[in-house]
Structure formats: structure tokens, C-alpha cells
Structure 1
Amino acid sequence: MLKQRIQDDMKASMKGGDKPRLGVIRLLMAAIKQREVDERIELDDTQILVVLDKMVKQRRDSITQYEQAGRTELAEQEAFEITILQDYLPTALTEQEITDMIKEAIQSTGAESIRDMGKVMGQLKPKMQGRADMGAVSGLIKQQLSS
């Protein structure tokens, strides 16, 4: 379903002559197709969200590097690409929702220390994929488990 939406948006961008948007959508389709060819599978919506999440993370990292190097025009291009990619991601979780989900996962797994972090992350990752920065979530889990 998500893949079809991306393909439809690509066609609309072609017809509308929106070349910047079309370029980003083509990059996304290429990443999806690459993963499908590599793994010899057809990606479902959850797997496409993983690809999207990875692409957004890569662009955030690039923005940081470009800004440190004083290359604002490249950082702006990466930020534009993030806005296009985020159109396909589910709505982001609020900080309160993330905190509540972490507390619930810690209780349900019986996690007591940092050693149990894998159990908590394993439970949260499918629920939060594409909706939260998992690096930040990891830091919050560490805080909860160390206190």
C-alpha cells in the first residue's frame, strides 16, 4: 500500500514537472528496489518504513556534517529531502507518548538494569519504527534503567 502511494506520487511529480520532489522519490524507490533485489523479497509497509527511517537518519547525519563544514546549500538540500521522506512516515510520537511506552515496556519485560536494555528495545522498536528517533529512545531507556 505504501509502495503504491510512493509510485503514484512519482507519477504525479512527473506529470506536474516537480523535478526536486521527483528526484527524492526516485532515490526512495531505488533504495526500496535495491533492498528487494538484495534480499529477493517484496517489501511490505513495515520494511519500507525501515528504509525510510534509515534514509532520514542518513540525511540528518549529513546535515550535521555539512553545517560543520559551512556548506549550507548542501545542508538545505538534505533538509528538503527529509521533508519529502517524512511525508511517507507515520506521525511522530510526542515525548510523553515515548516516555509512557518506555515505562510500559520496562514493566512488561521486567527489566531492572542496563543489561536488560535489549529486551526493552526489542519490544519498542516495532511499535516506534519510523515514529521516533531510536537513538534518542535508547538514551531515554538507559536513563530509566540506571535510576
Structure 2
Amino acid sequence: MTLLEQLNTDMKQAMKDKDKEKLGVIRMVKASLQNEAIKQGNDSLSEDDELTVLSRELKQRKDSLQEFKAAGRDDLVSKLDVEISVLQAYMPKQLSEQELEEVVRNTIQEVNATSKKEMGKVMSAIMPKVKGKADGSSINKLVLKHLDN
């Protein structure tokens, strides 16, 4: 089942359950996917493109969550928590800390990186491998940690 089919099925269920929060998030994701398809000039998106859109939406919410927490906007924090949990249900299984560390170490060896100057090279090699399965900031911290040594 493609992501769009899954979203349609879940949208119907959310309507039946009268789950307004979930319904709103699903509609927003569908709109983002359709906008991306139009932007690319295609009828549909590849799985990779769908994952990119989902990751972007999730990242936007996580960034907003930090801002709202800092501003003390608890009403918006709880709303974003719901949106994040709905979005995460459509994301691939996240890598564990150990799995992520192994990918980072292997990639650093593959590109023969030895210093922080080669951070960009390492990150550009890692990101396609872990797309949607790990947060970019946690990958960044791990790469920095391993390049320091």
C-alpha cells in the first residue's frame, strides 16, 4: 500500500472516529504531497520523494515545538505533540543509537575522513543511507564526536 493510499484509508477512519486533530494532519500531509507532485510536474511521487516531504513536515513541527516551548505556549505545544505523533506513524522505523553510530563509523571509514573539515563529505554520504530513519541533528553530533577522535 502506497503512502497516499494509507493516508486515504486513515483519513476515512479519522472521519468515522470524528478525530479532528488526526484528520487535519492527514489532510495537511496529503496537500503537501500533492503540492510537491505538482511542483515536480508529476502525477505521483516516488517513495523517496514522499519520505522527503514527510521528513520536512516532521522537522518543521519539531522546530516549532522548540520555539513554542521556549515561548511558554503550552496550548500550541500540546497541539504540535499530537501532530508529531500522527506524522511519526507514517515514518519508517527509526534507527537505534547503536545502529546510527555504526552507520556513522562505517561512512567515515568509507570516505576516509579524518578531520572536521571533511564534515560535509561525511554528511552527504550518510544522509541518503539514513533518510527518514534518523534526525539530522543527531547524525551531525555523532559525526562531530567521531571526527574529533
Q: Is 1:138 matched with 2:124?
A: no
**Identity between Structure 1 and Structure 2 (%):** 36
Match of 1:12 in 2: 13
Q: For residues 91-130 of structure 1, what are the structure 2 equivalents within 5 Å?
A: 91-130=93-132
Distance in 2, matches of 1:123 and 1:9, equals 35
- For 2:121 and 2:3, how far apart are their aligned partners in 1? 29
Once the two structures are superposed, what CA deviation does each residue of 1:96-144 show, in whole Å capped at 9, x if it has no partner? 1111000000111111222322232222112211111112201211221
Which one of 57, 78, 81 corresponds to residue 80 of structure 2? 78
Match for residue 54 of structure 1?
A: 56
Q: Does 1:32 align with 2:33?
A: yes
How far apart are 1:33 and its partner, in Å? 0.9
TM-score under structure 2 length normalisation: 0.91
Write out per-residue CA displacement over residues 49-90 of structure 1, whole angstroms, 9 at most, x where no aligned residue.
Answer: 111111111111111111122210101100100000000001
* Amino acid across the alignment from 1:136: S
| Structure 1: gaps of 5 or more residues | none
3-state SS in 2 of match to 1:38: helix
Structure 1 residues 19-38: Cα deviation after superposition (integer angstroms, max 9, x where no partner): 21110000101111111111
1:44 partnered with 2:46: yes
Counterparts of 1:45 and 1:7 in 2: how far apart (Å)? 16
CA distance in 2, matches of 1:21, 1:101: 34
d(CA) in 2 for partners of 1:111, 1:71? 43
CA distance in 1, matches of 2:74, 2:139: 28
RMSD: 1.4
For residues 112 and 68 of structure 1, what CA distance do their matches in structure 2 show?
Answer: 37
Tell me the number of residue pairs that the alignment of Structure 1 and Structure 2 aligns: 147
What TM-score, normalized to structure 1?
0.92
Looking at structure 2, the residues matched to 85 and 133 of structure 1 have their Cα atoms a distance apart, in angstroms, of 14
Q: In the alignment, is the contact (CA less than 8 A) between 1:101 and 1:124 conserved in 2? A: yes
